[in-house]
Structure 1
């Protein structure tokens, strides 16, 4: 039986709850589109902060147009960095995280112009370039130590994990070994325990005590929350100490074992990962 023709001017009935027009198009695209820096971080191409720097510098384009902060991309969009195609939505290789024993003065990455090594020296391969690399991923150091210093370095090829750790590191308890020339006086030790920095900021110092020494050098053990290697050096120098070396020996639950020789590395364990990122927000993998 044929359906009766619809009268002229009558509107077509549509199923309830079904969007149409531009609203429907936006609803279909919205679940797929994500912020550009988040996509790059998840793919292990950069941390979110680094991706934001790239965006501000105009180095990223989306479908031929210069990307701006807040730009969102979908799997079908073409993303380029300095003109080179970036597979931002490709299925990423398994992200990894490593605990490294960095030698004092050892570079994290080879500089663009390394220059010529001194006579009798062989050029050193940078720490991050010795780690086992997966296609398309780069390593990010979490709160790296300054170049003259060394000790424990925590690095990962997971941009999301790096972001979580960079936020968490400000509340983590860290331990450092600091080498100074000569013995510190009681007032100097008291000043260090006070935690004051040149900027007026205050570090939460829990312990600072002598740890032995050799010849004119003395080592001091420092336990502090949320401090970088640079801040630790400044904390001692502010009290007149002549600091020659700062070594990080612990970062939160992660310790630098004596069995891990200088220049060597090991993978971060699942137990350490869970301790660093408690709760369901901890990214999987590694």
Structure 2
């Protein structure tokens, strides 16, 4: 065995993923030859690695000891390895080897999820930049419109970013299919909420080349040799290190007419089509602010906005001290003295 980074050594053994291995190292639960290492420490031939006093064996070179399963997660099962959580996915499956899920599905969601003892493949699949597609069937509370499909496909602003373009198609009046290459937290539910829809049911039907077809809710099976060959080929050039749901922040685009200081809440739908979206139309508050600014600068109503301003001619040969003659006004009789008239 050549030298390996400690987190890779632990994940390849099937004990946990690399991210979880890093957490164990930081918590001081890992030792190498009886000493607590630092992050990034390498393990060499003959080194003894333990987690909580339990020896960690090096993985087989051919990975023949790894477990890869497909599980049809029912509604109500939580995707966590914490055995203290009621309804956790590990107890639900009851596998004899130590396994952990690749990604997650929300508790109220159902469908396909992978579990494995190979921590090395987890980050390859989860890394957002690798663009491994996942297919979902979603039921919502309102009829699926063409406008909704277009907006979902183009990308929706959630969680401080804009979702990547994706494939969306109508299945029936209240059901649509969506294929994502991201794994943001509650992504589909947040996207629908932003557009004014509420998810009633959500099922993941496919991950890359593996389908949930043939598995009843609660059933699992080992991935076939063909599926594993295609899976390994798909992730052969994938990056190995990134947290689940990682996404590059989108560039902020300033709206026409200046930058707005007030942000729209994530769950508030935009204007319906044909009501000014994307045309630089200002809202009522912006119009009133511009109106106040215009009146404050000119002291007049906005009636002069359309007329060009008049420019006074200045004679360059005229002395600066010269002042234009003023037209004499009529003086009132009696000057400023108040005159009283007697009656009779």
Both structures adopt the same fold (TM-score exceeding 0.5):
yes
1:81 aligns with 2:51: yes
Query: In 2, Cα distance between the equivalents of 1:280 and 1:147?
Result: 27
SS in structure 2 at match of 1:65:
coil
Give the structure with the larger strand fraction.
1
Cα gap change, 1:261/1:169 in structure 2, threshold over 3 Å: closer, same or farther?
farther
Query: In 1, Cα distance between the equivalents of 2:154 and 2:161?
Result: 12
Corresponding position of 1:192: 152
TM-score normalized with structure 1 length:
0.71
Q: CA deviation at 1:205?
A: 1.1
1:165/1:276 contact within 8 Å kept:
no
1:184/1:241 contact within 8 Å kept:
no
Corresponding position of 1:255: 211
Query: In 2, Cα distance between the equivalents of 1:53 and 1:206?
Result: 36
2:4/2:44 contact within 8 Å kept:
yes
Query: In 1, Cα distance between the equivalents of 2:235 and 2:178?
Result: 32
Q: How does 1:35-114 map to 2 (within 5 A)?
A: 35-82=5-52, 84-89=53-58, 94-109=65-80, 111-114=82-85
Cα distance per residue 1:166-196 (max 9 Å; x no partner): 3378412221011211223443332212222
1:204 aligns with 2:170: no
Cα distance per residue 1:71-90 (max 9 Å; x no partner): 112343332323x2322337
2:125/2:235 contact within 8 Å kept:
no
Q: 1:133 aligns with which of 89, 96, 118?
A: 96
SS in structure 2 at match of 1:175:
strand
Corresponding position of 2:178: 222
- Structure 1 segments of 4+ aligned residues over 6 angstroms from their partners: none
Q: CA deviation at 1:50?
A: 1.2
Report the structure number with the largest CA radius of gyration: 2
Query: In 1, Cα distance between the equivalents of 2:195 and 2:19?
Result: 34
SS in structure 2 at match of 1:250:
strand
Cα gap change, 1:236/1:175 in structure 2, threshold over 3 Å: closer, same or farther?
same
Q: CA deviation at 1:227?
A: 4.1
SS in structure 1 at match of 2:162:
coil
Query: In 2, Cα distance between the equivalents of 1:253 and 1:230?
Result: 23
Q: 1:278 aligns with which of 230, 233, 246?
A: 233
SS in structure 1 at match of 2:233:
coil
Unmatched tracts of structure 1, length 5 or more: 1-30, 116-123, 213-217
2:109/2:202 contact within 8 Å kept:
yes
SS in structure 2 at match of 1:204:
coil
Corresponding position of 2:115: 155
Corresponding position of 1:4: none
Query: In 2, Cα distance between the equivalents of 1:106 and 1:50?
Result: 21
1:197/1:234 contact within 8 Å kept:
no
Q: CA deviation at 1:69?
A: 0.8
Q: CA deviation at 1:113?
A: 4.2
TM-score normalized with structure 2 length:
0.60
Q: 1:232 aligns with which of 181, 188, 195?
A: 188
Unmatched tracts of structure 2, length 5 or more: 238-344
Cα gap change, 1:178/1:169 in structure 2, threshold over 3 Å: closer, same or farther?
farther
1:52/1:69 contact within 8 Å kept:
yes
Query: In 1, Cα distance between the equivalents of 2:114 and 2:124?
Result: 13
Cα gap change, 1:146/1:279 in structure 2, threshold over 3 Å: closer, same or farther?
closer
